[in-house]
Amino acid sequence: LFAVQISKGMAYLESRRFVHRDLAARNVLLASRELVKIGDFGLMRALDSKTDHYVMTAHRRIPFAWCAPESLKAGTFSHSSDVWMFGVTLWEMFTYCQEPWLGMSGRQILLKTDRDGERLERPKDCPQELSSIMRQCWAPQPQDRPTFAALTNLVNEAQPIEVRAIQEYNEPGKLQLQANDLITVIDRSDGSEWRGQNQHTLAVGSFPAALVTGLALQPPGLISRPLRNSLVHTGHGDIFANRNWGFPDRLDENYKRAPGSRKEIQSSKLHMMSGMSRSLESLVDIHSKPPGKLNHTPHRKPPADSRAPCLCSDWSGPGGSARSHTGGVSRRPENSQRGSNESSAVPEDGALVLHGSTFTRGLSAHPGSLPVEPAGRESLHDERPTGVL
């Protein structure tokens, strides 16, 4: 959370052509429990439109351990040198503000980072994804480092997953958990035991992976979505180049001929709905006819002065009225026949009542109603409601 906020603040300075030159954890101010601000602009310089860097001429004290190699060698500061400092600031955050390159002079630090190519080690409590971002910030050549605008997206997508404890865990030397505690996962390279931070106690430690739930195998931002109107995942775009595959920006021609296209799926759904409707009609006929007479009965036309049947009604009881979900009230026909179990009836208005709900038949005769296929006919475009059981 703080890393994203810092990168956003630095992206703003970058857009206004300001070089901070002293980005470090000591200059990140805690405004509230979940909000930080960048401070200390004493070394900040504005770049004009003709240059992309600032060269320090006078002898001034600079924070050697946070500086990029080009700053230590030639006093050159730019947005790219600020990115290097951002990487060191992230390292501080995950080491609980240890001092980088402790006890070394500026010359020694330059030899290690520039000549020997050494970098600060990955902190124990730093997720691998964020450690990889630090390494990008410490690229030897300034032009190879990401911009702060890009870093904002990278850090946001690399946020660790969160899981929830399903039971209490009090093993000595391990992360103490209570049921429903929220845990930020730091390392899950070991399949059985993970390392994380309890968001309730802020303690960090190891815990059994079997004691948590709500696990997402990867943060949502790391998985590219399928293309619109397609159920085929033809490619994957990742923040790490070695994880990219396929075509995340287009639908390959080979996949267009693969089964599971949108048209096939829609046709399958229509077949399924048609089958459900025919099964429902058979069930209604079985319940509404005496034993031995299971043939379909032709639809009756509703009387001219009758009201349009409701799509779904709830009977208030034997002989009572039905209250429509659309606000209307329809009377139960006096000459309707009920079975011995009082569960079904065939009203005169053509509506079918099954277990307390009304299923509409022959609605095409009423303005504004949905068309319904007659019993016994098959249709691949059956759009009628199947009712509510």
Predicted local distance difference test score (pLDDT) of residue 339: 43
Nearest-10 Cα torsion for 172, 177, 182, 184: 10
Contact 77, 47 (CB under 8 A): no
Predicted local distance difference test score (pLDDT) of residue 369: 40
Amino acid letter for position 117: G
CA 79 to chain CA mean position, Å = 32
CA 378 to chain CA mean position, Å = 41
Predicted local distance difference test score (pLDDT) of residue 34: 87
CA distances from 156 to 7, 73, 149, 344 (A): 10, 33, 11, 59
Q: Please count the other Cβ atoms lying within 10 Å of the Cβ belonging to residue 91.
A: 25
Predicted local distance difference test score (pLDDT) of residue 51: 87
Over its length of 389 residues, how does the chain's per-residue pLDDT go in tens digits?
Answer: 799 999 999 999 999 999 999 999 999 999 998 899 999 998 999 998 888 899 988 777 889 999 999 999 999 999 999 999 999 999 999 999 999 999 999 999 999 999 999 999 999 899 989 999 999 999 999 999 999 999 999 999 888 889 999 999 999 999 999 999 999 999 888 778 999 999 999 999 999 999 998 754 444 444 555 555 555 666 666 555 555 666 555 555 555 544 444 444 455 555 556 655 565 555 555 555 555 544 544 555 555 554 444 444 444 444 444 444 444 444 444 444 444 444 444 444 444 333 434 334 433 344 444 444 444 444 333 443 334 33
Distance between CA atoms of residues 335 and 299, nearest Å: 17
Question: Locate tokens 């019993």: which residue?
Answer: 375
Predicted local distance difference test score (pLDDT) of residue 1: 77
**Would you state the structure tokens that stand for residue 334, as one six-digit string?**
């006096």
Predicted local distance difference test score (pLDDT) of residue 56: 87
Q: Please count the other Cβ atoms lying within 10 Å of the Cβ belonging to residue 70.
A: 19
Phi-psi region of 40 (alpha: psi -120 to 50; beta: other; left: phi over 0): left
Helix (H) or strand (E) holding 189: none
The 8-class DSSP code of residue 226 comes to P
Q: Which residues are the active-site residues?
A: 22
- The model carries a pTM of 0.55
The 8-class DSSP code of residue 193 comes to E
Contact 120, 112 (CB under 8 A): no
Secondary-structure breakdown of the chain: helix, strand, coil percentages, each rounded to the nearest 5: 30, 15, 55
Contacts of 328 (CB under 8 A, 6+ apart): 307, 310
Q: Please count the other Cβ atoms lying within 10 Å of the Cβ belonging to residue 165.
A: 22
Contact 197, 204 (CB under 8 A): yes
